[in-house]
Structure 1
Amino acid sequence: MPETTLADLAHEVRSKNAGPFWVTMELFLRDAAGYRVAADETFLNERVIAELYRVEESTIRIFRIPSLNVVKISFPRPVSQGSLRDRDMHAGQHHVPLARLVVP
């Protein structure tokens, strides 16, 4: 039986730059049940995001918006937008590890 991922629970999982120094990812969940899974702090928290994206846990901000079934996650970009080492100027591919996260 295939494992369920956050992408399976969502209408959309996306990422974008939030200025030259931050990345924002958004989970738009299909319903309240999916939101409860994604918003569960024992499942999706700063430690998990820090491990997925190799960023400092203390810099991660998670916003849970139950009225919209949305979870928003922001953290500093590993390299500033447009810098020589920037491989994704618009942060448009950062959401993939989050979308593939297997839910319990």
Structure 2
Amino acid sequence: MRQLSDIASVIRSKNAGPYALTFDILFKTQADFERAVGRALINPDLIARLYGLSPQDVLSIIAFPPAHAIKATIRRPLPSGAVGDTDIYGAQQHAPLLSLPLDPDWP
């Protein structure tokens, strides 16, 4: 079964301020980007499930057609740099997206 990492050239996470993390997914082709947007592949329920959050903690999901990209932003479980925060820069949080399975009918 194909995974998100098979159709994306970049999947990354980063700090979006002290209280938010953002995930960027840049698709290799316009067709895969359009398919992902059309099928709502990246949606609040999915992001909440992958990161153990409530859907209300998914602050935004934005498609950016010029870059064939989707950006999802979540509320950080702990503020950046707080006691217990394990990734102050948010750069290691994208791993659950890498192996996200695609529908069997994805070309």
TM-score, length-scaled by structure 2: 0.87
Q: Does the 8 Å contact 1:37/1:103 carry over to 2?
A: no
Q: Does the 8 Å contact 1:12/1:28 carry over to 2?
A: yes
The counterpart of 1:59, out of the listed 27, 48, 57, is 57
Shift of residue 36 of structure 1? 2.5
Cross-structure match for 1:76? 75
Equivalent runs, 1:81-100 vs 2, <5 Å: 81-100=80-99
Cross-structure match for 1:13? 11
Kindly provide the CA deviation profile for residues 57-77 of structure 1, in whole angstroms up to 9, marking residues without a partner as x.
023110011232100000111
Runs of 4+ displaced beyond 4 Å? none
Question: Number of residues paired by the alignment?
Answer: 101
* Mapped partners of 1:21, 1:86: distance in 2: 11
Same amino acid, percent of matched pairs = 31
Q: Does the 8 Å contact 1:6/1:38 carry over to 2?
A: no
Unaligned 5+ segments in structure 2 are: none
* Mapped partners of 1:92, 1:37: distance in 2: 27
Shift of residue 27 of structure 1? 0.3
Unaligned 5+ segments in structure 1 are: none
